[in-house]
Amino acid sequence: MSSVIDLLKSHRSIRKFTDQAIEPELMEELFKAGQAAATSSFLQGSTVIRVSKPETREELARLAGNQPYVAKAAEFMIFCADLKRAGNYCEAYGKPFEGDFTEHFIIATVDVALMAQSLVTAAESVGLGICYIGGIRNNPGPVSELLQLPKGVYPVFGLCLGYPDQDPEIKPRLPLSVIVKRECYDEEGDKQAIEEYDDRIREYYRTRTGGGHGISWSEQVATLLSEKSRPHMKGFLEDKGFKFR
């Protein structure tokens, strides 16, 4: 089996890091690897803000829900969807800026995710650990002010990066039969497969390092989708120029 496939299948989120710094040359190579990801329409709609100042890190950790690894990881960066950079050139070429269409928002957001995941894969291939931080969207306004993000740019997620100081178990994923369909969306057999998967997830949470809550996957996601989830995001994105026409 390919070593790349084995690497991808071994992904874990790391939340404890050593004090070892990441070499500048390695960081440059990781950014280049991320930048080489696919980009729709060649927009290259990603901007990465590396945050090194301890006081800024501490504030971002607080804004993200008091996640201490944001402050302690060797590297912390914010991945932003950026329509401003390309939009700057509309006037230069005598073209109207129409970057507030929903499709433009999707293109830039997908670009960010692809770039980040390519960087993550490269990082894990050399022994680094990562943890995505969606919690920065808890307070996107203050995060944007702290990082001086202009209109047309919004923070999608953060990323902790460093040398792991823990070895957590791999969290089981849904059965392939549930997520890979042939020809059409067919749910036959999904209910039983998910019931069996729920048992695995309960056991995973019960026995993993540090213990856990023992909740099933289905209950966890049902709770997620039954509650309001960052309702402030719509207004924030509109203020940032993403009007979703």
For the stretch 163-206, pLDDT in tens is 999 999 999 999 999 999 999 999 999 999 999 999 999 999 88
pLDDT at position 210 over 70? no
Q: What is the pLDDT of residue 243?
A: 86
pLDDT of 83 reads 96
Q: Which two tokens stand for residue 34?
A: 């991320």
Q: Phi and psi (nearest 5°) for 184?
A: -155, 170
Q: What is the pLDDT of residue 207?
A: 83
Give me the DSSP letters along 60-111.
Answer: HHHHTTS-THHHHSSEEEEEEEE-HHHHTTTGGGT----TTSHHHHHHHHHH
Taking the complete model, does pTM exceed 0.85, yes or no? yes
Catalogue all structural domains in the chain, each as residue range(s) with its CATH number: 3-168 (3.40.109.10), 171-228 (no CATH)
The pLDDT tens digits for 118-165 are: 999 999 999 999 999 999 999 999 999 999 999 999 999 999 999 999
Beta bridge partners of 160: 76, 131
For residues 54-64, give the mean pLDDT.
98
- The whole-number average pLDDT for the span 42-66 is 97
* Residue 224: predicted pLDDT: 93
* Burial (0-12, 13-18, 19+ Cβ within 10 Å), 88: exposed
- Per-residue pLDDT for 7 more than 70? yes
Has residue 209 got a pLDDT over 60?
no
- Assign 45 a pLDDT band (cuts: 50, 70, 90): very high
pLDDT at residue 208, rounded to an integer = 74
Does residue 220 have a pLDDT over 90? yes
Residue of 225, 221, 242 lying closest to 233 (CA atoms):
242
Question: pLDDT tens, 77-117?
Answer: 999 999 999 999 998 999 998 888 999 999 999 999 999 99
C-alpha 124/C-alpha 130 separation (Å) is 8
